[in-house]
Structure 1
Amino acid sequence: MPKPRRAVLHRLPMRHPGDTAAIEALIEAGRLDPANLVAILGKTEGNGCVNDFTRAYAVQSLQMMLARRIGAEAAAQIAMVMSGGTEGGLSPHFLLLSVEPGEVANPAGALAIGTAFTRDFAPEEIGRMPQVEAVAAAVRTAMAEAGIAGASDVHYVQVKCPLLTSERMEAAAARGATVATGDTYASMGLSRGASALGVALALGEIDGVSPEEIGQDWAKHSAVASASAGVELERCEVIILGNSPDWAGDLAIAHAVMQDAIDLPAIHRALASAGLPTEHGQLAPVAAQRLIAVLAKAEPSSNGRIRGQRHIMWDDSDINATRHARALVGGVIAGAVGRTDIFVSGGAEHQGPDGGGPVAVIARRAP
């Protein structure tokens, strides 16, 4: 039998989107071999919208730093998912995911990681069925790479997906092709939605999907998908996190689904599933030492209400609705776990129920 693998996760602060100092210090200290990196997730302090170039800046800085150490070709194989927007009290940070040789597989199951990339999409494919199908295929590939046996063992699927810019729309029009939308911001939601439906399709959460359901039928969604759109790429990058008895180490992942933006019990369920008890609504200090990462989605409910009460997230002309949602959900989660460096991504189209979204917890198992 092949030797088991071990997943390693480092959470590091970010002073600004181009700051790689903490990562380089970890490498210099011998605590991180950059050749073992498979994915980097980051929360950057931009607006999270179409023109949020903090994402591209962070990716460029990471790739340049890693290219000096492991070569440009190897650096390009690392999935890099930058999610813009740290509204409210959210703290900019990086999550570095590595895969190293393990000693003994954990029969209780340990964190398993798989990655895959789609091809580049033509502008007219973004937010449409070709993207759904390509993401579904990439999810299956990532599952096989990770050795995750079944969909029930998958607890979080991160997809970084492209969006439409004016330039990309013009390129499509010049070829006589039509795009899913002429609104660049709306294209982010359609791309996220198509990606999430691809995840749901691959994991058997839905039986199928039709073109007219993308961005329309919110009953069709994934309980583990998290999609983030950005201008910095034209393909989708897929990262699967689950548990497998074939992996070594003491890290494990669990998840729950928030039914709305203030669903604190769902956060508690995710923490409890990861073996982390709470005290008086907040994570106990001893348990907090074993918490490695929290990842969640945030989206304003489409009906403009939370448990019957009106919210104005969709009506604010000064602050984008997803920015409101990130701040709100980030505050609820921060109150539950007692920390602010949590990965809350806005825009949850087909990612959990309308107004809610998945929340995943990665923790060390109790000794």
Structure 2
Amino acid sequence: MRPGRADRGAAVGSARRKRTPRMPSPTRLLLWHDNAAPYLDAIAAAGLSERVRAEALPRKESPSAGQMAGTEALLGWGVPAGLLPRMPRLRWAQSLTAGVEGWLALPDLPPGLTLTCARGTHGESMPENILGALFHIAKPYAAIAEAQKSSRWARQVAMPLNGKVLGILGLGAIGQEVARLAMALRMEVIGTRRDPAPLPGVEVLPPDRTDEVLARADFVVLLLPSTAETEDFMDAARLARMKPGAWLLNFGRGNAIVDADLVAAVTRKRIAGAVLDVFREEPLPASHPFWTTPGILVVPHMGGMHPDRDKVVARLFVDNLARFLDGQPLRQVVDRGRGY
């Protein structure tokens, strides 16, 4: 017998009740980076591929109208002014760098956008490179290599680092690792940080006691963020508080130093010299006096670089991505008030 209308209605109602609930649409993610592969691999390894619709875009290209309209999360070095207001669904941006002054300088940075930085991802390379700079200063291998070019036997005496005082302005994650490595060389470490909580083996002072660090240190390492307070931080007055034989190493931000004041201090032997990894303008112009001032070593922003840096940043990013998808607090959220 053919089923009656009531039977057919019951069957249809039962089918409707058994329908599988619709899955939420994947979150649209834009990887605005020339090397997206490590991030896509990390997303897959974390089992998040089905929860996101990831699109890779080279830095030289601009997002399409569809990408601007639909993107909810963004990974990138930075964005030009005028772009973010055209991305109405964007809720989170992950910077590829620890410094975010370029992001914060945007005149149209949406107030509700969560911005996270790559703070901590330089920990595998920068402390070693800072240590390398200390060895470059103290151990005369560069001069020995130069003498070898002319087959010249030139005896050298290396400066011991043991017993020297290392001053670190900015005892964050990088500064603390530098301190640990320096103490293994039996150096005395003193430094400043906003939260002067104790650190094993390190004399920690608040920023308002910076002058004490400058007066005692044989080597001063700048690891300061870029804020209104750190702009032109090392000027003629602070350079004059350093020991005459001390060295300044800047691996933080280029605008923390008054360039002309440093050139004058080194030229007049007010301090012994400087190793600079960061600059106000990069690449450093060929006409800049840093290139030709004896006692100043120009390092082309090598400090935080790592052969597999994208894999390191991808670990932080994919952790944050999982948190973002689950509605959990993100790591390394930028405090706009502090500037980092």
Q: Which has the higher strand share?
A: 1
TM-score, normalised by the number of residues in structure 1: 0.24
Q: Relative contact order: is structure 1 or structure 2 higher (C-alpha 8 Å, sep ≥ 6)? A: 1
- Which protein has the larger Cα radius of gyration, Structure 1 or Structure 2? 2
TM-score, normalised by the number of residues in structure 2: 0.25
